[in-house]
Amino acid sequence: MNRGPKLKSPATKKLAGTYKECVDGNTVPTVQLTPDIPVAPSWLSAGAKDVWAEDIARVVACGAREPDSHFFAVYCEMMARFVASVKAGDPPNAAFVSELRKEAEMLGIAGAKARLARGGDKPAPSNPFAKFK
């Protein structure tokens, strides 16, 4: 099955005389998102602020923006509690560690697989047929 023709812009359709307000009038221009960074909320604890300061550069490098602030803050609170429990000598809670790993993967800081899924550290695409000339 072949693809259909490419869509024409409303301006092109007006020039051709095929513009219909009911079909082509509801087009919305694409909004360009600004690359803003996450903002630390005021309710962060002291330990979470330390985690925030430590990890903010990595999270921003993986593509986090201002809408991710709350999620990153929750991650920082969990990581601060985990660090405090480890320093206290308590055994790590498996469910807590698992949830931290999931959140770190969603933020793109959990390892190579997470970064590849978000689009960072991609190997250059190669042509498998280049060897046949």
User: What pLDDT is recorded for position 49?
Assistant: 96
User: What pLDDT is recorded for position 107?
Assistant: 87
The mean pLDDT value of the chain amounts to 83
Task: Give the closest residue to 49 by CA, choosing from 39, 40, 61.
Answer: 40
Question: How do the domains of the chain map onto residue ranges?
Answer: 46-118
From residue 28, give the alpha-carbon distance in Å to each of 1, 9, 25, 31: 30, 11, 9, 9
- The residues of the chain scoring below 50 in pLDDT are none
pLDDT digit string, tens, across residues 25-60: 776 656 555 668 899 999 999 999 999 999 999 898
User: What pLDDT is recorded for position 8?
Assistant: 84
pTM summary value = 0.61
